[in-house]
Structure 1
Amino acid sequence: MSTDKRLPTMGEVLFVLISFVLIMFLFVVQFGIPIQLALLTTWFMIMLVGLKIGYNYAEMQKGILKGITDGLEAVLILICVGALIGTWIAGGIVPTIIYYGLSIINPNIFLLAAFVICAITSIATGTSFGSAGTAGIAMMGIGISFGFPVALVAGAVISGCYVGDKLSPLSDTTVMTASLSKVNLIDHIKSMLYVSTPAFIIAGTLFLITGFFFHDSSGSLTQAEETMTSLSDFFNIGWHMLIPAVVVIVLLALKKPSIPVILFGALLGSIWAFLFQDVALLDAVNSLYSGNSIESGVAFIDNLLNRGGIVFMLDVIVLILFALGVGGLMEKIGILRVICVKMLAWANNAGKTTLTTLLSGFFGNFFGGAAYVSIITASKITEENYDRLNIDRRVLSRNTEAGGTVTTPMVPWSDGGVFMAATLGVSTMAYLPFLWFNFLVVAISILYGFTNTFIWYTKPGGKDEEKAS
């Protein structure tokens, strides 16, 4: 066993970071090799540095396993949501939501409606994945029928989904961030409202304005009518189709555990497929694993509704496991600690401290592949600076969400980025420019930091003091 371990030098850290980016570019962009193999290759590149600085393979394997273990809850949720998507399509729940949405939503306000509906769903359920896999898929169907670019619709959907993932007291990331930052959950949410409220209003306004100019007004209503006809031909549409969705939302709103609730919702979808959609019992049950399969003759409907099931998530799960392993390796051999030390030496005011937290969160997503990793890196790497500068930890928790949770869908190989791309059928780089709420949260957080706006400081007596300069 090695006894002469040392921290990597800054040169070795830069070698790992630059090599990581180059491997991703060459594998994915240049040669079209699956991103899973790119991430697996980075394991060996990081291990070479680990061996050089004194770690043996057994020690580094423990780091890999710890990184994977820390993110396993997200993997379990992905499996459950995959099953839910499959049965809710087969059971007619998602097609019914699309059908009613097409009948009541005006195309001019659709983007705003999609943003708000997904925000409400995610706040009520506390899960961006579950919201995207249900309301999000429905909004994609409606938006495509109205003639909107799929990437723009996906941007509105994902923006809305991350409103709740960031703000809901039911969200695991919200609870985890408050816990790691040692902040009361409600105080944490109140602190985030100072950033999220203006970001929500501005993003909503942008989606509203864009909706008036971006959709194909000449063909939107005709295509919407054709979509409604096709849906009614292949599915029984009715208000009772929405019961499973209502049950799941209510149970999650009552703070019931998300994994069993989502699985129960998936089971209800199978029952609905058997009872109301004339699906054979075994096929209805099998949709939990294999997803839905129809041939409507309408290409985009087939593309949208032939998905779901646990199988649908297998590639995503493999990718996330490899990404979590990368994060665990970097943590084990001290790469994140070296970055932390450099950041702490530079961050000597509220603005720089805010920026280091945001960057630490983004690095957690970029190199760790998961929201859980990003929340840990953002909070733990920079918490010392907040205490040293007497900045209230509510600011730390708020910035951790801005740099960690909100940037997750921006990284193509993170759990959020992979899930959103696979579920909505739009690549991360395509929808990235339209994540307006997410970008606004980051921008407003930086603005507050460098202008000392809504930055609270602690007095020796323990009272809060808000400084405006």
Structure 2
Amino acid sequence: MSNERRLPTLPEVLFVLMSFVLIMFLFIVQFELPIQLALLTTWFVIMTVGLRIGYSYFEMQRGILKGIYDGLEAVLILISVGALIGTWIAGGIVPSIIYYGLTIIDPSIFLLAAFITCAITSLATGTSFGSAGTAGIAMMGIGISFGFPVALVAGAVISGCYVGDKLSPLSDTTVMTASLSKVNVIEHIKSMLYVSIPAFVIAGILFLTTGFFFNSGGGDLSQAEDTMASLTAFFNISWVMVVPAAVVIILLAFKKPSIPVILFGALLGSFWAFFFQDVAFLDAIKTLYTGSSISSGVAFIDELLNRGGITFMLEVIALIIFALGVGGLMEQIGILRVICVKLLAWADNAGKTTLSTIISGFFGNFFGGAAYVSVITASKITEENYDDLGIDRRVLSRNTEAGGTVTTPMVPWSDGGVFMAATLGVSTLGYLPFLWFNFLVVIITALYGLTNRFIWYTNTNETDSPGIKENVN
């Protein structure tokens, strides 16, 4: 007969959270050990508390497996995008986009162009991962060729990718957040426009002015010219090369499932490598697994284009699996429920409720390691407060995206943070200061809550909101 289980006490919860942060610091900063080992060590800390409060090893294993199972879609997308990156480089798709981008885009407006290009791609496809692995890779190549700091370019790319991740009706996080919050997905998107439009405009202005600053003297285009020469020397550059990219974007825009579409795009890349880049057929197929490999003699071109393939993502996948296990364990032994109770007691007005949702979403990314965890923690931990205060659930869904979706790439071990760092070749802490759209979404959302602006109520008795009010009953 199993021991009687109980919820962890607040000191036990704090012990787990503080241990998590300490382990991360020691493993990553102090000892320079792999982050995967840090996450795996955290499993044992959580299980120690789980045993203390009455959970068996079998029950905690079940929590780990559930956490990993719930995040398997992200793992499969990582595998698919890894294969796609490898074949699209070998097939000349990414090199062609970089080449034509260098001929079309003016360096002074490049950062704004990268931001908008990735935003349009993510809005059309609904995937930040797919957008970063396609348009994002190309924008990185163009930006580096223009001489922009790699971290700044990554910030513009990721900011654009997360415009669609939180706004597109094709995005899994958008649909999932609306569903969890019990809000119609179109109404959910409309509510987010109050935050996203000003955030998009301000971020666009910041990227535009920063681009002018870096190119105030006209810029040195010699590196861009060297890049174009290297690309034409090693690849057959043609507009035909962008056909696989167009096919993938169109299929995703027609709401076809992400994983088979991305894998189909990867297969097209292999065929393009065989038919247009003179790669042997078996070698072209092999790039699905091993990625692209060239030796151009230009260091940054080799660094940019020697990547991709399923093997390219294996360390990333291991990291995400361990992070998902942490989230599953915390959910299983009741740590999230304890935090929920504390937040419910504290958040007694619109401002505090908004902040509690943002904090809960970030908590899901920081300790759960995945966007799907963050939207669950943000919505489910705080939903009772919205109902008790008579706040419309469209506000809940909007705040959930702000605390959950857009903070995902800010956490080095979350699925978004790991993927963006691996795909774009920039560390999370490197690009973090330049995630201007993401930060603006969080800041504007918090300001709306604290000032009671654009907070809708479900009853007509509320008279203290100077923002928009509606009776939705």
Using structure 1 for the length normalisation, give the TM-score. Answer: 0.98
- Shift of residue 458, structure 1, vs aligned partner: 0.3
Identify which range, 212-221 or 276-285, moves more after superposition.
212-221
Instruction: Indicate how the Cα distance of structure 1 residues 12 and 85 shifts in structure 2: closer, same or farther if over 3 A, else same.
Output: same
Report the secondary structure of 2:456's partner residue: strand
Query: In the alignment, which residue of structure 1 is the partner of 2:403?
Result: 403
Query: In the alignment, which residue of structure 2 is the partner of 1:467?
Result: 465
Query: In the alignment, which residue of structure 1 is the partner of 2:251?
Result: 251
Instruction: Indicate how the Cα distance of structure 1 residues 374 and 172 shifts in structure 2: closer, same or farther if over 3 A, else same.
Output: same
- Shift of residue 214, structure 1, vs aligned partner: 2.3
CA distance in 1, matches of 2:465, 2:363: 30
- Percent of residue pairs bearing the same amino acid type: 82
CA distance in 2, matches of 1:399, 1:215: 37
CA distance in 1, matches of 2:445, 2:283: 49
**Is the Cα contact below 8 Å between 2:326 and 2:368 reproduced in 1?**
yes
Query: In the alignment, which residue of structure 2 is the partner of 1:224?
Result: 224
- Shift of residue 190, structure 1, vs aligned partner: 0.4
Report the secondary structure of 1:285's partner residue: helix
CA distance in 1, matches of 2:39, 2:168: 32
Report the secondary structure of 1:458's partner residue: coil
Report the secondary structure of 2:453's partner residue: coil
1:337-393 alpha-carbon deviations (Å, 9 max, x no partner): 111110010000111000000000000000000000001100100001000001000
CA distance in 2, matches of 1:269, 1:388: 53
Query: In the alignment, which residue of structure 2 is the partner of 1:144?
Result: 144
Instruction: Indicate how the Cα distance of structure 1 residues 217 and 274 shifts in structure 2: closer, same or farther if over 3 A, else same.
Output: farther
- Shift of residue 96, structure 1, vs aligned partner: 0.4
1:273-330 alpha-carbon deviations (Å, 9 max, x no partner): 0000000000100000100000000000000000000100000000000000000000
Q: Is 1:386 the equivalent of 2:386?
A: yes
Alignment of 1:280-359 (within 5 A): 280-359=280-359
Question: Counterpart of 1:171 in structure 2: which amino acid?
Answer: S
Instruction: Indicate how the Cα distance of structure 1 residues 427 and 234 shifts in structure 2: closer, same or farther if over 3 A, else same.
Output: same
- Shift of residue 256, structure 1, vs aligned partner: 0.8
Query: In the alignment, which residue of structure 1 is the partner of 2:240?
Result: 240
Report the secondary structure of 2:237's partner residue: coil
Question: Counterpart of 2:150 in structure 1: which amino acid?
Answer: V
- Shift of residue 459, structure 1, vs aligned partner: 1.5
**Is the Cα contact below 8 Å between 1:366 and 1:414 reproduced in 2?**
yes
CA distance in 2, matches of 1:268, 1:217: 42
Query: In the alignment, which residue of structure 1 is the partner of 2:470?
Result: none
- Shift of residue 146, structure 1, vs aligned partner: 0.6
Structure 2 segments unaligned to the other structure (5+ residues): 468-473
**Is the Cα contact below 8 Å between 1:248 and 1:265 reproduced in 2?**
yes
- The runs of at least 4 aligned residues of structure 1 exceeding 2 Å deviation read 214-220, 464-467
Query: In the alignment, which residue of structure 2 is the partner of 1:21?
Result: 21
CA distance in 2, matches of 1:233, 1:217: 30
CA distance in 2, matches of 1:465, 1:241: 59
Report the secondary structure of 2:390's partner residue: coil
**Is the Cα contact below 8 Å between 2:347 and 2:353 reproduced in 1?**
yes
CA distance in 2, matches of 1:257, 1:156: 27
**Is the Cα contact below 8 Å between 1:83 and 1:287 reproduced in 2?**
yes
Question: Counterpart of 1:467 in structure 2: which amino acid?
Answer: S
Alignment of 1:177-216 (within 5 A): 177-215=177-215
**Is the Cα contact below 8 Å between 1:459 and 1:465 reproduced in 2?**
no
> How many aligned positions are there?
467
**Is the Cα contact below 8 Å between 1:144 and 1:150 reproduced in 2?**
yes
Query: In the alignment, which residue of structure 1 is the partner of 2:437?
Result: 437
Instruction: Indicate how the Cα distance of structure 1 residues 217 and 311 shifts in structure 2: closer, same or farther if over 3 A, else same.
Output: farther
Query: In the alignment, which residue of structure 2 is the partner of 1:51?
Result: 51
- Shift of residue 220, structure 1, vs aligned partner: 3.1
1:394-436 alpha-carbon deviations (Å, 9 max, x no partner): 0000010000000000000000000000000000000000000
- Shift of residue 4, structure 1, vs aligned partner: 1.5
Instruction: Indicate how the Cα distance of structure 1 residues 276 and 216 shifts in structure 2: closer, same or farther if over 3 A, else same.
Output: farther
- Shift of residue 215, structure 1, vs aligned partner: 4.7
Query: In the alignment, which residue of structure 2 is the partner of 1:130?
Result: 130
Query: In the alignment, which residue of structure 1 is the partner of 2:106?
Result: 106
Question: Counterpart of 2:11 in structure 1: which amino acid?
Answer: G
CA distance in 2, matches of 1:215, 1:412: 31
Structure 1 segments unaligned to the other structure (5+ residues): none
Instruction: Indicate how the Cα distance of structure 1 residues 216 and 24 shifts in structure 2: closer, same or farther if over 3 A, else same.
Output: farther
Q: Is 1:276 the equivalent of 2:314?
A: no
- Shift of residue 467, structure 1, vs aligned partner: 2.8
CA distance in 2, matches of 1:48, 1:239: 58
- Shift of residue 468, structure 1, vs aligned partner: 1.1
Question: Counterpart of 1:48 in structure 2: which amino acid?
Answer: T
CA distance in 2, matches of 1:312, 1:444: 37
- Shift of residue 216, structure 1, vs aligned partner: 8.4
**Is the Cα contact below 8 Å between 1:180 and 1:379 reproduced in 2?**
yes
CA distance in 1, matches of 2:98, 2:236: 13
CA distance in 2, matches of 1:85, 1:466: 52
Question: Counterpart of 1:390 in structure 2: which amino acid?
Answer: G
1:59-89 alpha-carbon deviations (Å, 9 max, x no partner): 1000001110110100011110001100000
Query: In the alignment, which residue of structure 1 is the partner of 2:62?
Result: 62
CA distance in 2, matches of 1:348, 1:373: 24
**Is the Cα contact below 8 Å between 2:368 and 2:374 reproduced in 1?**
yes
Question: Counterpart of 1:40 in structure 2: which amino acid?
Answer: L
- Shift of residue 3, structure 1, vs aligned partner: 3.8
Query: In the alignment, which residue of structure 1 is the partner of 2:425?
Result: 425
CA distance in 2, matches of 1:391, 1:300: 52
Query: In the alignment, which residue of structure 2 is the partner of 1:448?
Result: 448
Query: In the alignment, which residue of structure 1 is the partner of 2:12?
Result: 12
CA distance in 2, matches of 1:466, 1:308: 54
